[in-house]
Structures are given as structure tokens and as C-alpha cells.
Amino acid sequence: MRTCLPKLLLASGLLLGTGLSAQAQLKLNTKTIGAGLKAAKAATVSDAEVIEHTREYVKWSDENNPVAPANSPYAQRLKKIVAGLDTYDGMSMNYKVYLVKDVNAFACADGSVRVFAGLMDLMSDQEILGVIGHEIGHVKHKDSKDAMRTALMASALKEGASSQGGAAGALSDSQLGDLGQAIANASFSRAQESSADAYGYDLLKAQKVNPWYMATAFGKLNDLSGGAKASKGAQLFSSHPDSEKRMTIVMEKAQKDGFAKPTK
């Protein structure tokens, strides 16, 4: 999966069984930067700067996309799914639903996890938890932080930002847009994806959920990735190499651990 700004797989555009509709797609900031990222240094970006700018970007994303209110069926369902996971494995996490038709989810270095309504319509609670577990794995392994740092560096260097000291400054709307483009073009390595899969698998076990559900989540996404509903952009998990092979690895591991395949 992507970090902070995912590439997307479109679903049907209707939110099932809730009385709500999500004709909108995720809104991305596509403005062009004019002056470079002054906060990012040409040689390095500190962990503190990475987290600060991550929070800025998440704040922009939350303000510019339809976030499910706390009393909505989607928000209530997600709250139930992630019960007890506000803190996990030494991390502080926060979760929200975007009322958009895209089938996706993403996590950021600051512990923000955003799940899209299209994904929730497609999957069971257990499968959604598997996806979230995978995303938390990227945060725990610092993949999300490293990807954001790379995006900050790429944005700064592209515009010729100079190496200067001083505290990180707030990013402008256009700078956030340029940063978003850099993040969207980022991807995780096979090793990173496999490690996140293993983390999600173990999270399901720790939550007393059959880890087979991670494999069934892969299966549903795999089916969509080759069908008429697929978008031109990369989609959840299909941007990860060997998604079908990884699904098989999860199934074989679950069988070896003595878990039976879910009947539904």
C-alpha cells in the first residue's frame, strides 16, 4: 500500500446498506509548487520535520475530503473494528473513514490511518482489520516515515531548495500539492511489503481473528484489479509486487498454523 497519498482503485460509487452515497472520489492536491520546500534541507530531513509535515498533509487531506462523522454507520463500524488499537505496539494511532467510492486505505508516519468507504463496502470487518494491520506494519517498520522523507527531499531538490538551518516552517497549499505528487509516485519494496504482510498477519492473530482473512482480502482486491472496475492508476495491493503470490503465502502460513479457511 501507499503511504499518505495512495493511488486508487475505483469501486462502484455506491455505499451499500447505509442510506449514504459516495459519488466523490478522493481529492488530491494537484497544484504546482512555486518556490520549493523551504523546510526540507537538500542534504537531510529530520524525523521531527518528517512527522510535522506528515501531520500537515493529513490535516489538509482531512479538510479536503469527506470524513465520516462520528455518528455515521461507517465511523461506528470502523470504531468497532479498531477497538483497542488506539495504541498498539508502542504507537499512537488514529482512524477515520473517507466517504469516497475508492477502494483503498492508507497510513502515515504520524499514526494516521484512513479507510475509504469503497473498501468497507467490499470487505468484511475481519478483512478490513487485515488491511489496517498491514498499514500499521508500514508505520511500525518506519516505511511510511522513510517514504515521506524521500518525498520531502524529492520535492525540495526538484525546486532547488538550499540547505539551511532553522525550524521547519508550515507548508503552503501549493507545496502540499507538490509533496503529494512525490508521495503518490513512491512505492514500497517487495521486502517492505512482505514484512507489512507478516505484521498484519500477526496483528490478526493477536486480536483473536483468523489470519486467513488477510488472504481473502487479497483475493477480493486481486479480482477487482483485473476487472472492469479497475482504474488507470495503481490500486491497493496491485501496486505491490506479486500480490497473488503474497496471497498464497498468507494462506499457506495460516494452514501451517492450524487455521481453517473461513466459510464466509
Catalytic residues: 135
- Contact status, residue 213 vs residue 130, Cβ threshold 8 Å: yes
> Which of 183, 61, 37 lies closest to 115, judged by CA?
61
Provide Rg for the chain, Cα atoms: 18
Identity of the amino acid at 157: L
Q: 3-class DSSP state for residue 67?
A: strand
Distances (CA, A) of 77 to 80, 81, 96, 212: 5, 6, 11, 21
For residue 145, what is its C-alpha cell?
Answer: 516515515
According to DSSP, the β-strands at 105-107 and 112-116 are antiparallel
Beta sheet of 112-116, edge-to-edge order:
94-98, 112-116, 105-107
For residue 203, what is its C-alpha cell?
Answer: 496483528
Distance CA 233, CA 227 (A): 13
Distance from the first to the final alpha carbon of the chain: 25
H or E element in which residue 105 lies: strand 105-107
